[in-house]
Structure 1
Amino acid sequence: MVLGLGPVVTVALLLVMVKIYYTRWKKKNPTNQRIEVFLKNHGPLQIKKYSYSEIIKATNSFRNNLGQGGFGCVYKGKLQDGRYVAVKILNALKDSGEEFINEVASISRTSHINIVTLLGFCYEGSKRALIYEFMSNGSLEKFIFDENAQATNRQLDCQTMYDIAIGVARGLEYLHKGCNTRILHFDIKPHNILLDENFKPKISDFGLAKICTRKESMVSIFGARGTAGYIAPEVFSRNFGAVSHKSDVYSYGMMVLEIVGGRKNITVEVDRSSEIYFPHWIYNRLESNQELDLKNIKSESDEKMVKKMTIVGLWCIQTHPSTRPAISKVLEMLEGNVEALQVPPKPFLFSPSTSPVQLSWETL
């Protein structure tokens, strides 16, 4: 009987040691501490917490990879109630906890037709995951850039492009004005706009988001955040003005111009150097009253929609925040008559060859 206690005691001691080691590691790990403080301060969240074993089961052991981002991979999954979901598995080596906290803190506060729904999360030691509603058509970039559109065998018509621009603007208006707290996204781009089966857009990926009170007209951030090509000048350098909701407007404007042009804002494969920077090229056409000559335009109605989106996009990417419209004004312009819109001034950032800021920007 006494001899039989040896292995049992040994196993018990090992379990105690493992638990002590795990507890000490958990306490010393700054990422875990940050997340635990956040979860404690926010109390019971409205979204469900899943175990990691549930995540494995839902994704069929991560069988269907939907894509990869800067902070981890996204997999298609299916919950027990039959709903399909997108599961983002955060990379423990890259995520400092900020991505997880930003997503949960911001999206759990929202409820809007043009904002992706966060259904749950997983936090189990170093294992962290976010569970979203599944968007069957994936991201917008698959349908607007030539190389991607050819692969999917689907190019968007002008009406669909216009509806997407309107939908994203409404989502941003909600984030800026419709929530109890103002949420600045800081990473609006085609990759982060998801489309459902009817091509209705939803803003996703709030990993860089900043939550502030509705009274705050300016926000304080450390360094530049966002994706090169979509970052507002003031986010890159405070010499251009204060960082605010107008920074999202800039990113939105650049995205709208990419939707219109069907190409990224800087393209090196074109024949003439004047066409390298698309906003520069399309501005010159508007200024000289030339036809936009874009392949998706098939009627006079299309021409008006595209011209309207182009003018609004150019207003949104004005160099100084004070000259950009708020997103509510953007919606007003998009839903109004194109004849009432004026072509904006030409920002000096339009010339990559002469702008030191643009040259520095490309190396960001």
Structure 2
Amino acid sequence: MLILLCFLLLSNAEFGFRYYFQRVCSNSCGDLQNIHYPFRLKGDPPQCGEKSHELSCEGNRTMLFQPNGTFYVTNISYEEGPFMGMTLIDVGITRSNCSLPSVSLWLKNFTGYNTMLGFSYEYCTFVNCSRKIDDETYRLVPCLSTNSTFIYVTIRYDAASVGVLVQDCRPVVTTAVSDSIPHNEDIFKMLREGFQVMLDYPSVFSVKQCINFAANGAYVVSIIPYPIRFEMNILHCIANNLNFGSREYIIIWVLFVLVDAPILIIAILLLGRLVLAPLCLLVFLVYNISIHLIPIDVVETFLQRQVALSPTRYTYNEIVSITNNFKEKLGQGGFGSVFKGKLPGGYLVAVKILGNFMDNGEDFINEVSTIGTIHHVNIVQLIGFCAEGTNRALIYEYMSNGSLDKYIFTSTTKNRFFNDEKINEIALSVAKGLHYLHQGCEMQILHFDIKPHNVLLDHDFTPKLSDFGLAKLQPKNKSLVSMSLARGTIGYIAPELVSRSFGNVSHKSDVYSFGMLLMDMAGGRRHADMKIEKSSQLYYPSWIYDQLQQTEALGSHVHLEIDDLERKLCKVGLWCIQTRPVDRPSMIRVVEMLEAGVDSIQMPPKPFFCGSESLPVPSSSPSELSVISEC
């Protein structure tokens, strides 16, 4: 507290000095502005300047009165050290264009000042000669000379000494003139340039004098704020002018150290808190904005162009309200989280909050552009969406019974959750929905992620396809699809999506995934579940194919592990998972086979990957494959 009090007192003193000396002591006269300490005008308070440096203002001109002469002041220099002084002109020179100075400088002692002779000035001496002088260092002054008297001027350092003058000449007056002016220049014009005198500094300053010098800007560093400049000036003055080791010297330095050390620490802390911290935050925000700038621009451009979209656009605050602040969570996936919500009219919805994404917004655009305008009993309906900055959400109709996978993978062949009729109905409905995507829309829609998890069931277990994040729109007249990355879920991906050596990517890729879905529904277990003991059963489609062959060969009266429903689904599924896309049926043909009887469906060829070796997959088993070079 003591240090802080000292700091406040000194700060108030500094600003007090500044106000006093600039408002009260600063003065002007004619062309000279801001005359201040150590100079002062006659009539100013004594503390405004030194008595020995008092000036007068007469006739709107600043004047310096000395015991042996009067001078006009044309400029004042406040430079540090011995170069603080004034530029003077002898009043006598200004009386006419040809008049001599009234005072000889070399005979004069300026009270409180030193002349600059010997630095950038030399003596200029006027001499009166009784005869003409033949000497190049002497110049005749015609306006002052007569037939019997010859006035010469000489500019030389020792001209003021009588002993060096030529015979028959005597000095008249000596003054100062710049040694940089050419020798043939008009001498009176040279004299009217003036000469400089400097302050006669005392060898030791008092503390009061140092404070006066510092407060009046005696040591001027204009770019530094005044309080700091005041302190630098006074410390400089004290260090150079007070007696080293004196009591005043020690007290002042100790005081400034005690005050400045805490101030420096506080300044560093404030700099870090007020400057560095906001700067780091700004850099962090700019970095995050730059990451999401392109995705946001892409999505906003897309949404602005889709003026005819039927889904409603919601704000993020409305999403929070619909989900009751995300109270009830329905599920979690790689895309983000799904929450139960309720629209103002009481209509239940499922809100999918998209997580942090590093793509360009393609998945979001796919969802909105594909199912946003689709209305089909077997396609989940998109009711609305949110795209507010980096916050994105999709609002679907609420499917109260969840996804198909939790019903077919938790049951067994002997104890299914659904009866045969319902399983066949679900398979047929999904097939019709997929056929609608391929042929019923204006643009062909390829889903690329058909699997049990993406088949949702409503309150009466009507199946609906969902999750169009990987979907791709394709003109109907274009059979081949251009893709650079494999997309889908391992186990359901068609071979041509892994390597183009198996064929071209088309709507037949969805047919392959649907075939794997049928195999899951038929067996009630995942095709990748490797818990079967027999080695021939390690690949489920291969085991199914062997079972079907035995059934077809021995007849239906032979009791095997596979029933008629499984036979039907598996036959259709095996047709769908043929290795070559051209060998797979279209979805309309799949619908026809599912509506027909099991015995009317021809036994398909054995798929290439139903042998002892299955389709190789990456060891890391990601949910979406990377691009693999074509053969």
Range of TM-score over shorter length:
0.7 to 0.9
Within a 5 Å distance, the mapping from 1:124-203 to structure 2 comes to 124-146=388-410, 149=411, 155-203=417-465
Within a 5 Å distance, the mapping from 1:69-88 to structure 2 comes to 69-88=333-352
Structure 1 residue aligned with 2:254? none
More displaced stretch, 56-65 vs 81-90: 56-65
For each residue in 1:84-115, what CA deviation from the matched residue of structure 2 results, as whole angstroms up to 9, or x when unmatched?
Answer: 00000001235541111000000012110000
Tell me if the contact between 2:455 and 2:466 (Cα under 8 Å) persists in the aligned partners.
yes
Distance 1:330 1:241 in 2: 20
Distance 1:28 1:225 in 2: 23
Match of 1:331 among 554, 574, 591: 591
1:293 to 2:561 alignment: yes
Query: Per residue, is there more helix in 1 or in 2?
Result: 1
Code of the residue aligned with 1:270 in structure 2: it is I
Match of 2:301 among 37, 62, 74: 37
Distance 1:154 1:137 in 2: 16
Within a 5 Å distance, the mapping from 1:1-364 to structure 2 comes to 25=289, 29-94=293-358, 96-146=360-410, 149=411, 155-289=417-551, 291-294=559-562, 303-351=563-611, 353-355=612-614, 357-360=615-618, 363=621, 364=625
Distance 2:361 2:426 in 1: 32
Q: Calculate percent identity across the aligned residue pairs.
A: 51
Tell me if the contact between 2:292 and 2:390 (Cα under 8 Å) persists in the aligned partners.
no
Tell me if the contact between 1:282 and 1:292 (Cα under 8 Å) persists in the aligned partners.
no
Moved over 4 A (4+): 359-364
Code of the residue aligned with 1:243 in structure 2: it is V
Taking structure 1 as reference, are residues 77 and 173 closer, same or farther at Cα in structure 2, changes over 3 Å only? same
Cα displacement (A) at 1:26 = 7.4
Taking structure 1 as reference, are residues 270 and 55 closer, same or farther at Cα in structure 2, changes over 3 Å only? same
For each residue in 1:236-272, what CA deviation from the matched residue of structure 2 results, as whole angstroms up to 9, or x when unmatched?
Answer: 1111111011000000000011001001112122222
SS of the aligned residue for 1:358 comes to coil
Distance 2:368 2:482 in 1: 21
For each residue in 1:172-226, what CA deviation from the matched residue of structure 2 results, as whole angstroms up to 9, or x when unmatched?
Answer: 0100000011000000000000001111100000000000111111111112100
Give the length in aligned residue pairs: 331
Structure 1 residue aligned with 2:217? none
Distance 1:55 1:292 in 2: 53
Distance 2:352 2:292 in 1: 25
Code of the residue aligned with 1:255 in structure 2: it is L
SS of the aligned residue for 1:29 comes to helix
How well do the aligned residues superpose, as a CA RMSD in angstroms? 2.3
Code of the residue aligned with 2:404 in structure 1: it is L
Taking structure 1 as reference, are residues 210 and 159 closer, same or farther at Cα in structure 2, changes over 3 Å only? same
Distance 1:43 1:251 in 2: 34
Tell me if the contact between 1:26 and 1:32 (Cα under 8 Å) persists in the aligned partners.
no
Distance 1:28 1:72 in 2: 17
Distance 1:239 1:89 in 2: 38
Distance 1:260 1:101 in 2: 34
Distance 2:342 2:617 in 1: 45
More displaced stretch, 85-94 vs 237-246: 85-94
Tell me if the contact between 1:228 and 1:361 (Cα under 8 Å) persists in the aligned partners.
no
Code of the residue aligned with 1:246 in structure 2: it is K
Structure 2 residue aligned with 1:6? none
Taking structure 1 as reference, are residues 291 and 115 closer, same or farther at Cα in structure 2, changes over 3 Å only? farther
Structure 1 residue aligned with 2:15? none
SS of the aligned residue for 2:442 comes to coil
Cα displacement (A) at 1:41 = 2.5
Tell me if the contact between 1:253 and 1:317 (Cα under 8 Å) persists in the aligned partners.
yes
Tell me if the contact between 1:158 and 1:306 (Cα under 8 Å) persists in the aligned partners.
no
Cα displacement (A) at 1:304 = 3.1
Could you list the runs of 5+ residues in structure 2 that have no partner in the other structure?
1-281, 552-557, 626-631
Determine which structure has more spread, i.e. the larger CA radius of gyration: 2
Distance 1:28 1:143 in 2: 39
More displaced stretch, 256-265 vs 41-50: 41-50
For each residue in 1:8-54, what CA deviation from the matched residue of structure 2 results, as whole angstroms up to 9, or x when unmatched?
Answer: xxxxxxxxxx9xx89x9379711101101211222242110011111
For each residue in 1:66-91, what CA deviation from the matched residue of structure 2 results, as whole angstroms up to 9, or x when unmatched?
Answer: 11122110011011010000000001
Cα displacement (A) at 1:339 = 1.8
Distance 1:27 1:360 in 2: 30
Distance 2:433 2:292 in 1: 39
Code of the residue aligned with 2:432 in structure 1: it is R
Code of the residue aligned with 1:91 in structure 2: it is G
Distance 2:393 2:326 in 1: 12
Distance 1:185 1:35 in 2: 20
Distance 1:173 1:316 in 2: 13
More RCO (CA 8 Å, sep 6+): 1
